[in-house]
A and B are shown apart, each in its own frame.
Chain A
Amino acid sequence: MKQTLFNNVFLPLSLFVISLTTQGQDTASVHYEKAFQTLEAMLVEKEPATFKKAVLTAENAYFDSGLDTAYFNQQLNILVRLTRAFIEAHREGFIYKGGDREKVLIYAGVYKVMTDTLPIILELGDTVYHLPFHYDFEDIAGHFNWTKMFVSKLVSSHTGNCHSLPYLYKILVEELGVKTHLALAPNHVYIKHRSQELGMYNTELTSGSFPIDAWLMASGYVHLDAIRNRLYMEALSDQQSIALCLVDLAQGYQHKYGMGDGQFILKCCETALKYYPNYINALLLKTDVLRTHWEALAQERNEASTKQEQEELTDTVLTAFNNMQELVGKIHDLGYRRMPDAMYLDWLNTLKTERDKYENPKINATFNNQ
C-alpha cells in the first residue's frame, strides 16, 4: 500500500516539482537565448538594427521579457516631443551658424532636456517643470542591483549612471533622426560628436559638461597604449554600439544566474568581439569565463582519487590556464589598467573641481547660451 501511495502520489508530485524548476531555468535561458539571437541578427544585419531595440532587448531579457515596453515608449515619446518643442522654441536664438546647424540643434536640444530644468507652459496657462536626469551615486556599477544600469530604470526614476545616461541620449538623438556616437573611457561611457565649425567634441552626461580629451588623457589614469590601441576614446560605430549591448546582456545573465557553465556568456563575448575586437569589457568578461573554467578544472584535478587520474587532468588544467594567461597578457599589452570605484569617482569629480582646465569653452558657450 505504501509502495502504491509512493508510486501514485509522491513520485508524480516530485517529478512535477522537478519539472517545474527545470522549466523555470529553461524559460530563463529561453529569454536570454532569444535576446542573443535578436542582437546577433542585428549585428549580421539580418534584422534592422536600432540602438533602442538593442538596449531594450538586453534589458527585457533580465526581466524575463516582462519589461513594460509600452510605458517605456510612452515616456520616450514625451521626451522626444519635449525636445522637439524645445528646439522649435530656440531655433532662432541658437548661435551656432555652421552648415550642420539642424544636427547640432538636435544635439543641443537633447542635452538641455536631459540636464536642465525646463518650464512647460500648459494650455490653461499653468507652468510645470521638466526636471533634469540626475546621477545616481548609489551602487554606480550595478554590483548589487544590475537594473541600476538600465535605461528603463533611468526613464522611470530620472536617476541613472554613466551607462544609462549616454544610452538614453543616443536613443533620443536617434529617435529625432540624427546619428551620434558613444565612446568609452575606463568604467565609463560618454558621447562623441563632430560638428563642422567646432570640430570633434565630447558630451559628458553625468555632469552635463563638455570635457576636452585631456580630461581623460592627462588625468593620469589612462595608459597611452590604451588610447593608441583604441580601447578608449574612439567614436563607436552603430555595430560596435550593438556589440556593447550584447556584452550588457551577458553581464545581466551573470548577475541573474551566475556564470553557469560559461557557455552563454562566452558566446556573447565572442560574437561581440567579432564586431569590436578591442572591446575591453568583452575581453574582461571572457577572462572571467576562462578563469572560472580553469578553476573548476583545477579543483576537479585536486579532488581526483587516483594519481593516474590527476596526471591525466594536468594537461587540460595547464591548457586552460595558458588560455586565460594569454588573454590577460593581451589585455595588459593593449594598455588596460584596472580602475577602482573610488578612483573612478575622483576622476569624474575632476570635471567639477578643475572645470577651467578640462572644459571645452567653445561648446559650452554654444550650448549653454540659449
Chain B
Amino acid sequence: MNRLFAYFLLCICLFLIGICKAQTFQPQVIPSGPTVPSPNNPFGTKIPSIPEPGGGYIQNRYRHPYSQPITTGEQVNKRLLAEVEEDMARRRAYSMPSCMGSPGTRGYQHAYHEIKTMLEGKDSLNLSRAVFLVENAYYRDSMDFSTFDSYLNSIVSTLLKKIADEGQGPTSNTAKILMLHRFFTDTIEIRNPRTGKKQAHYPFSYDFEDPTGNTDWSKQFVSKLLAEGSGQCHSLPLLYLMLAQKMETEAYLTFSPNHSYIRFKDGYHWHNLELTNGYLTNNTWVMGSGFIKAEAVQHELYMDTISLKRAVAVTLSDLANGYARTHCMDGFVKRVLNTSLQYHPMTPGALALLSNYYTIWFQHAFRVSGNPGPNDLYRYPEAVQIYRHRNALYGFLDKVGYQNMSGEAYQEWLQSAHDEAQQQEHTRLMQNINKDWPKTPQD
C-alpha cells in the first residue's frame, strides 16, 4: 500500500516538473511599432483601460521553470503569496508616486466625483457648478457656490429684463444671443429694480498679462473674470456658455490651436463669436492663423461645435491641469483626463496633458528599471508598455492634426482681428443677423 502511495507521489512530481518545463521563460519582445488608434476610437479602447504596469506581463515574468516540485498545499500558498507580494511591490514601484492625501487634494477628488456624476447622467448637467468646482478646488474650498451662482443669476435676470424692455420676444434665441454679445462687449445701462438708480455694466476686456496662465493659473478662471472684468480666451467663452445655459440659449464651445471661441446658429447660418475682442469672425480668419491642418478639421479637433455635456467634460481637463500644476502628476491626473476624453475624445488640452503625463511616467519607469540601455529595455515590459502608449498617443496627436501655437504667433493672429477687413466683415455679419430678425421672430 505504501509503495503504491509512493508511486502515486512520484507520478504527481513528474507531472508537475513536466508542466514547469513546458512553461520555459520567454523574454518579452518589443513590438515593432506603436498601435495606431482609429479616429472614432482614439486609443483603440486600450489607453483608457490600460492595465497598470506589471499587469498583463506578470504571467510571463514570474514563472519559475526550474523551481523544485511543490508537494504540499501550504507551500503552494506560501509561494503564491510571495509572488503576489513581489508583484504588488513592482506595481507600486512602476506607478507614479501619488500625492493624493496631501492638503488641498480632497477638493479635487470631490470635484471629480461630482462632475463625473453629472456626466453619467445621475445628476443634471450644470456647467456653472462644474466650473465652480474646478476653481474652488484650486482655491482650496474657499469659495461659496450660492454667492457665485446668485451673481450669475442676477446677470441673467437683468439681461432677460433688458430684452423684454427692448420689446423682443422672451423666447427669441437670436435676441438672447445678441444681448449676451452686448453684455460682453458693450456698456449696458440698467435701472436697479430696488433702488431705482441707473447702473452700468462695462464690457469685459482682454487681459494681456499672462493670458495662458503660465505663471498664475487662476488667470484663466471665470471667477477672476467676474471679479476683475478682464479675462482671456478660456474664461470668456466659458462664462458665455454658463450664462447661455441659464438663459436656455443654444451656443457652442469651439477649439482652435491654443484657443477657444463660441459658435452659434442664426437661422441656417453658423457664426463665430470671438470674445477676446467681441468680433463676429468668419472661418477664413480662424484658419488664417496658418496653424490649422485639414486633418484637425476632419477629425473634429478644431472648429467643431461642442455641446453642453461635452463642455462639462472639458472642465475635467481643466481640473486635471489645475491638479497637475498645484500638486503633482499622478494617477489622479490620468483618471480625470480619461473620464474627460471618454465624453469628449477631442479636447486638445486634455490630449496634450495626457501625452505629457505618459512622457513623465515613462521617465519614472525608466529610472525604476535602473536606466537600461536601448537593447536591454525589453527586459522591463512595464516600462516598454508605458513607452508604447506614450508613442501611440503622440502618433495620434500628429494624425489628428494637433498643433501648438507659439505665444507670439498667437497674439499676432488675435490682433489681426482688428484689421479693417475683419472689422468690415464683423459689421456685415452683424447686419445679417439683424436682418434675419423680422423673418424669424420666434426662432
Q: Which residues of A contact B (CB under 8 A)?
A: 194, 199-200, 212-214, 216-220, 224, 227-228, 230, 232-234, 357-358
Q: Which of B107-115, B169-177, B292-300, B323-331 contacts its partner?
A: B292-300
- Bound form: Cα–Cα A227–B293 in Å: 10
Closest B-chain residue to A228, C-beta based? B297
Provide the bound-state CA to CA distance between A200 and B398, in Å: 8
- Of all chain B residues, the one with the shortest Cβ separation from A201 is B293
For A214, the chain B residues whose CB sits under 8 A away are: 287-292
* B264-301 interface with A by 8 A CB criterion: 283-285, 287-295, 297-298, 300
Give 21 pairs: A residue, B residue, CB < 8 Å, sorted on A. A194-B398, A213-B292, A213-B294, A214-B287, A214-B289, A214-B290, A217-B292, A217-B294, A217-B297, A218-B284, A219-B284, A228-B297, A228-B298, A228-B300, A230-B298, A232-B294, A233-B294, A233-B298, A234-B294, A357-B290, A358-B290
| B322 on the A face (CB < 8 A) | no
Contacts of A358 in B (CB 8 A): 290
Name, among B289, B290, B300, B303, the residue most crowded by chain A CB atoms within 10 Å (CB to CB). Answer: B290
Against A, the Cβ 8 Å flags (1 = close, 0 = not) of B376-390 are 000000000000000
Residue with the highest number of chain B CB atoms closer than 10 Å, among A199, A216, A357: A199
Q: What chain A residues lie within 8 Å of B401 (beta carbons)?
A: 200
Given contact pairs A214-B291, A216-B294, A218-B284, a sample of 12 additional A-B residue pairs in the complex whose CB atoms are under 8 Å apart: A200-B398, A212-B290, A213-B293, A213-B294, A214-B290, A217-B297, A218-B288, A219-B284, A227-B297, A228-B298, A233-B294, A234-B298
The listed residue with most B CB atoms (<10 A of its CB), out of A194, A218, A232, is: A218
CA distance A214 to B257 in the complex (A): 13
**Are B287 and A218 in touch, CB under 8 angstroms?**
yes
A217 and B287 contacting across the interface, CB-CB below 8 Å: yes
Say yes or no: B293 contacts A224, CB within 8 Å: no
- Docked CA distance A358–B284 (Å): 14
A217 / chain B contacts, CB cutoff of 8 Å: 284, 287, 292, 294, 297
Interface of A is mostly: mixed
Residue of A nearest to B303 (CB): A224
Nearest to B300 among chain A residues (CB) is A228
Instruction: Determine the chain A residues whose CB is within 8 A of the CB of B303 once the complex forms.
Output: 224, 228
Which B residues touch A212, using CB under 8 A? 290
Chain A residues within 8 Å of B300, by CB: 228
A224 to B282, CA, bound (A): 10
* Contact partner, A227, options B289, B290, B291, B298, Cβ 8 Å: B298
Residues of B within 8 A of A216 (CB): 294
B297: chain A residues at CB < 8 Å are 217, 224, 227-228
Instruction: Give every chain A residue within 8 A of B294 (Cβ-Cβ).
Output: 213, 216-217, 227, 232-234
A230 to B298, CA, bound (A): 7
In this complex, the member of B288, B291, B300, B304 whose beta carbon has the largest number of chain A beta carbons within 10 angstroms is B288
Which residues of B sit under 8 angstroms from A230, Cβ to Cβ?
298
- Which residue of the partner chain B has the closest CB to A214? B290
CB distance from A126 to the nearest CB of B (A): 46
Q: Smallest distance from the beta carbon of B6 to chain A beta carbons, Å?
A: 63
**Residues of chain A lying within 8 A (CB to CB) of residue B291:** 214
Residue of B nearest to A230 (CB): B298
Closest to A194 in B: B398
Task: Find chain B residues with CB under 8 A from A234 CB.
Answer: 294, 298
- Measured CA separation A33–B342 after assembly (Å): 50
A357–B292 CA distance with the chains assembled, in angstroms: 14
Known: A200-B401, A224-B283, A234-B298. A218 touches B290 (CB 8 A): yes
B285 contact set on A, CB distance < 8 A: 218
Determine the chain B residues whose CB is within 8 A of the CB of A233 once the complex forms: 294, 298
Q: Scan residues 25-71 of chain B and give those whose CB is less than 8 A from a CB of chain A.
A: none
**List of B residues within 8 angstroms of A194 by Cβ:** 398
Q: Which residue of A lies closest to B290 (CB)?
A: A214
Q: What per-residue 1/0 map shows which CB atoms of B230-262 lie under 8 Å from chain A? A: 000000000000000000000000000000000
Q: Verify B284–A200 contact, CB threshold 8 A.
A: no
How far is B289's CA from A234's CA once the two chains are assembled, in angstroms?
20
Among A200, A220, A224, A234, residue most surrounded by chain B Cβ atoms (within 10 Å): A224
Instruction: Give complex CA distance A358, B398 in Å.
Output: 20
The residue in chain B whose Cβ has the minimal distance to the Cβ of A227 is B297
Smallest Cβ-Cβ distance to B270: which chain A residue: A224
Closest 3 pairs (CB-CB, A-B):
A233-B294, A217-B287, A218-B288
Chain B residues within an 8 Å CB radius of A227: 294, 297-298
Q: How far is the CA of A217 from the CA of B304 in the complex (A)?
A: 15
Nearest-neighbour CB distance to chain A for B372, whole angstroms, equals 21
State the CA gap A136–B407 with chains docked (Å): 42
Distance from B394 Cβ to chain A, minimum over Cβ atoms (Å): 11
* Contact partners of B288 in chain A: CB under 8 A: 214, 218
Bound CA–CA A234/B294 (angstroms):
8
Contacts of A199 in B (CB 8 A): 398
Chain A contacts of B284 at CB under 8 A?
A: 217-220
A212 to B, closest residue via Cβ = B290
Residues of B within 8 A of A232 (CB): 294
A335 to chain B, nearest CB (A): 11
Kindly supply a per-residue 1/0 record for chain B positions 357-371, scoring 1 wherever the CB is within 8 Å of any chain A CB and 0 otherwise: 000000000000000
Q: Which residue of A lies closest to B288 (CB)?
A: A218
Q: How far is the CA of A151 from the CA of B242 in the complex (A)?
A: 58
Q: Name the residue on A nearest B283 (C-beta).
A: A224
**Residue of B at shortest CB range from A360?**
B290
Q: Which residues of B contact A224 (CB under 8 A)?
A: 283, 297, 303
Cα separation A218 to B290 with both chains bound (whole Å): 8
Residues in chain B near residue A228, CB distance under 8 A: 297-298, 300, 303-304
Given known A-B contacts A218-B284, A224-B283, A224-B303, A200 and B290 have beta carbons under 8 A apart: no
Nearest CB of B to A359, in Å: 10
Query: Once bound together, how far apart are the Cα atoms of A200 and B300, in whole Å?
Result: 17
Q: How far is the CA of A227 from the CA of B288 in the complex (A)?
A: 15
Measured between beta carbons, the chain A residues less than 8 angstroms from B283 are 224
Q: Give every chain B residue within 8 A of A200 (Cβ-Cβ).
A: 293, 295, 398, 401
Cα–Cα distance between A194 and B293 once the two chains are bound (Å): 13
Residues on the A chain within 8 Å of B290, using CB: 212, 214, 218, 357-358
A213 to B295, CA, bound (A): 9
Report how far A357 CA is from B291 CA in the complex, Å: 11
Chain B residues within an 8 Å CB radius of A213 = 292-294
Shortest CB-to-CB span from B299 to chain A, Å, is: 10
Alpha-carbon separation in the docked complex, A224 to B294 (Å) = 10
Which of B291, B295, B300 has the most chain A CB atoms inside 10 A of its CB? Answer: B295
Docked CA distance A358–B298 (Å): 20
Nearest CB to that of A357 among chain B residues? Answer: B290
In the complex formed, the residue of A with least CB distance to B297 is A227
